[in-house]
Amino acid sequence: MLKDVVKGILAIGVVITLLLSSCSKNDREVQIVALPVIAGDFERAQPGRVFQFPQDHGAHDTFQSEWWYYTGNVAAETGEHFGYQLTFFRRALLPQNAFQERQSAWSTNQAYLAHFALSDVAAGKYVFAERLQRGAAGIAGAVGEPAFAVWLDHWSVTQTGDHLYRLDAAFADQRIVLDLTEQKSPVLQGKDGYSQKGEDVGNASYYYSQTRLATSGSIYMRNRRYDVTGFSWMDHEFSTSALSAEQVGWDWFALQLDDGSELMVYVIRRQDGSQDVFSAGSVVDPEGSAKTLTYRDFQIVSKSTWHSPHSGAVYPIGWEISVPQEDLSLMVQALLADQELNVSFVYWEGAVRGQGVRQGRPVTGYGYVEMTGYAHSMQGQF
């Protein structure tokens, strides 16, 4: 749910830089004076929604922002470890009720953005790409029925059967084709999928995760094919909300542990350096039942940092996470320091490894961490 804030902002950033292809910081080349936007109403998240799958896997155009977020750690038989990220963002340009249906299939009030990143741990190499499209004419979109699919150009996730999904994306000479098998039912985050993030009731999102997707498939890179297996994580969230003025960024962690459990926690960082009370998380046991964590239930301490030569930002890349009520303590370390996406928005999103102790027994696992607001504040991006 914190992630929703992240992505909401990202999606806005996307649209803001709609016409931007190169990133030179020149003065304005073009100025546009334009008509003001028509006012309209977006739907807001309210408590008590009943989720229906696979319909709810699809797009919810009446909400302003939405995203589908796939990350995973996979390894080849020969030992090479890879992390991947494939994320689709949807952003409504206009509320549905302010948009007039038109003749052309290209007409739309929806914009889609996608990020694809691949971490080649053995080679110490990290690549990423961004694509932006209109959610129309079949170029980009998301549907829940008859089967789930979300796509933008040739990047896609498609449901291929019950609890089966295929993920396909390529950039330059890297490509991933992965089959994902859902091993646990979707975990509804927050209160039954209603994830509050501010004082107001409407300032919330709908948020669920697929926390353990068994993954197998191929990664093509360096003119080679690696047959890989591992686990993926999926977040789907939709909302109409904004980050408040004091919230400058967030750190989000999701780990799949080898005892069959998953841990997700996030911290909203406030301007004064403190952690926001809406920071939260969840633990999912091997059977798939989830327990919500509030900001009091966990603690994250940064242990080491990395200075990005690209953006100049300083990111933590090693952490100690403790969840006392689970008797869980984990040392989490980035598999690569440089997993910073320098796209229309700068953030760090990377594969990590966790190692620690739960109830006296050693536990390890892989996961993903997202950090925003380090290169520049998220404020003013609205």
Partner 1 sequence: MKRVNYLPLVLWRVSWRFLLRHRWQSGLMILGIAVGVAVVVAIDLANESAWRAFALSKEAVLGKATHQIVGSGDEGLNETVYVMLRRQGVIGKMAPVVREYVSSPQLGNRPMELLGIDPFVDGEFRSILGNTNRVPVDQLVRFLTQQGAVLISDELAAENGLDVGDVIEVDIGGYQKYAVIAGLISPQDAIWRRVLQGMIIADISTAQELTGKVGRLDRVDLIIGENDDFLLKRVSAALPPGLRLIKAETGSDTVAQMTAAFRLNLTALSMLALLVGMFLIFNTMTFSVVRRRALFGMLRCQGVTQREIYLMVLAEAFVVGSLGSLLGVGLGVLLGRQTVAMVSQTITDLYYTLTVQAVDVPVESLIKGGVMGIVATILTALIPAVEAASSPAQISLARSVLESKARRVVTWSAAAGVLLILAGYLIFQLPLTDLYSGFGGTFAVVVGFALLSPLAMVIASKVLSPLMGYLLGLTGRMAPRNLVNALSRTAVAVAALMLAVAVAIGMGLMIQSFRSSVVVWLNETLNGDIYISAPTMNATMPAFPVDRRVIARLRSVDGVRDVYLLRTIQVESPSGSIRVNASSNPNLGEERLFLFKRHQDSKMVWQEMQKGAVLVSEPLARRLDVIRADGEIIVKSPNGEIRLPVEGVMYDYTSSEGSIWMSRDFYQRVWGDDTVTAIDIRLEQANQADQKIDEIRSEIGSIQKLVIRSNQGLREDVLEVFDRTFAITGALRLLATIVAFIGVLNSLLLLQIEKQRELGILRALGLTTRQMWRLVMAETGLMGLIAGLLAIPTGAVLTLILIYVINRRSFGWTLQVYMTPEAFLVGLGIALVAALLAGIYPASKYSRMAASEAVRYE
**Interface residues with partner 1 (CB under 8 A)?**
12, 15-22, 24-38, 93-94, 99-100, 102-109, 111, 132-134, 136-139, 151, 153-156, 170
State both tokens at 131: 């694509």
Closest CB to partner 1 among residues 133, 203: 133
Backbone angles phi, psi at 324, to 5 degrees: -55, -40
State the nearest-atom distance from the C-beta of 109 to partner 1, in Å: 5
State the nearest-atom distance from the C-beta of 71 to partner 1, in Å: 21
**Separation between Cα atoms, residue 44 and residue 205, nearest integer Å:** 8
Nearest to 1 by CA among 194, 171, 150: 194
Closest CB to partner 1 among residues 169, 335: 169
**Separation between Cα atoms, residue 49 and residue 10, nearest integer Å:** 25
Beta bridge partners of 352: 334, 367
Closest CB to partner 1 among residues 17, 333: 17
Closest CB to partner 1 among residues 138, 360: 138
Closest CB to partner 1 among residues 96, 292: 96
Closest CB to partner 1 among residues 103, 359: 103
The DSSP call for residue 95 is: -
State the nearest-atom distance from the C-beta of 120 to partner 1, in Å: 21
State the nearest-atom distance from the C-beta of 350 to partner 1, in Å: 25
Element (H, E) at 359: none
Closest CB to partner 1 among residues 315, 347: 347
State the nearest-atom distance from the C-beta of 102 to partner 1, in Å: 6
The DSSP call for residue 98 is: G
State both tokens at 271: 């301007």
Amino acid at 353: R
What's the number of CA atoms in the CB half-sphere (13 Å) around residue 109?
21
Q: What are the angstrom distances between the C-alpha of 123 and each of 69, 72, 222, 351?
A: 25, 18, 10, 14
State the nearest-atom distance from the C-beta of 93 to partner 1, in Å: 5
State the nearest-atom distance from the C-beta of 279 to partner 1, in Å: 29
Closest CB to partner 1 among residues 19, 50: 19
Element (H, E) at 15: helix 2-16
Neighbours of 42 (CB within 10 A): 19
DSSP string of 204-264? EEEEEEEEEEEEEEEEEETTEEEEEEEEEEEEEEEE-----TTEEEEEEEEEEETTS-EEE
State the nearest-atom distance from the C-beta of 158 to partner 1, in Å: 11
